[in-house]
Amino acid sequence: MKYVGVDGCRAGWFAVIIEENSVSCSLYAKFSSLWAAHDAAACIMVDIPIGLPDCAPYLRNADSLARKRLGGRGASIFTPGVRGVLDALDYPLACEVNRQLTGKKISKQFWNIVPKIKDVDCVVQANPSCREVVRESHPELCFSLAAGRELIHGKKSPEGIEERLAVIRSRHPDVHTLYEKALNSYYRKDVARDDIPDAMILAVTAWSSAGSLRSYPSPPQYDSRNVPMAIWYHEFS
């Protein structure tokens, strides 16, 4: 069985792959290329909003539920905009579209990842089977659950990276050894240091769950395109 954890990076998508006898990493410019390479995976967990509402009051519950579970680091989970925002030409227009449909503008953080959201959304809509394999998740939530506690340091600081690598080491030592290899294999302008642990914990979460992932909300909501609007996680023992 193959389990994949994916984090968006400057060069595209950084993936960590766990198979029965190997652990590896790869970089893909487009999500379609990643899906073509791993469409036989048991689970692909990716840090990106998947499934978007069209308007209020039919908004996502996943983000507020996961934010509540994460506690002090809940601010790292932001609320996505509506699907209409994906076609906006600039940030002010996107804010206006979202305001008309929900009463609120979108965050700059969401706007900055709209190209990545569209990249995944295109693949998910074109491949219905993808919806049973590709799961939206959140690294900070997975780290907290794997550690059994709230993490102390920010993920971009040296202390934060070491704290997160220690959590990974406790759950899958072979994945931990991949960190230095990934650092040496990719330029920082393409894959940032914190992208690597984020993809690692998503892969470890998928692998540890062995198919028993849970979701916020449960059961998942679905958008008008029949795409799940849920954040998936695993209750580590």
Per DSSP, the residues of 148-202 read TS---S-TTSHHHHHHHHHHHHHH-HHHHTHHHHHHHHS-TTTS-TTHHHHHHHH
pLDDT computed for residue 170 by the predictor: 96
pLDDT computed for residue 188 by the predictor: 96
Q: Are 47 and 139 in contact (CB under 8 A)?
A: yes
21 found inside a domain = yes
- Quote the longest CA-to-CA distance of the chain: 52
Q: Residue 16: which of 7, 27, 25 has the closest Cα? A: 25
CA separation for the pair 30, 47 (Å, rounded): 15
- Per the structure, how many domains does the chain have? 1
90 found inside a domain = no
CA separation for the pair 32, 96 (Å, rounded): 30
pLDDT computed for residue 217 by the predictor: 98
122 found inside a domain = no
What is the three-class DSSP state of 97? Answer: helix
92 found inside a domain = no
Strand ranges (DSSP E) for the chain?
3-9, 12-19, 22-28, 43-46, 134-136, 214-222, 228-233
In this structure, what CATH number is given to the domain that contains residue 187? 3.30.420
Percent of residues in the chain assigned helix, strand, coil, to nearest 5: 50, 20, 35
pLDDT of 53-106, one tens digit each? 999 888 899 999 999 999 888 888 989 999 999 999 999 999 999 999 999 999
pLDDT computed for residue 127 by the predictor: 94
123 found inside a domain = no
Q: Which stretches in the chain have pLDDT values below 50?
A: none
User: Which range of residues forms the domain containing residue 216?
Assistant: 1-51+62-78+130-237
186 found inside a domain = yes
CA distances from 132 to 43, 118, 154, 186 (A): 8, 18, 32, 30
CA distances from 134 to 125, 165, 206 (A): 12, 24, 11
CA separation for the pair 54, 201 (Å, rounded): 31
89 found inside a domain = no
213 found inside a domain = yes
User: In angstroms, how far is the first alpha carbon of the chain from the final one?
Assistant: 21
The amino acid sitting at 117 is I
CA separation for the pair 80, 106 (Å, rounded): 7
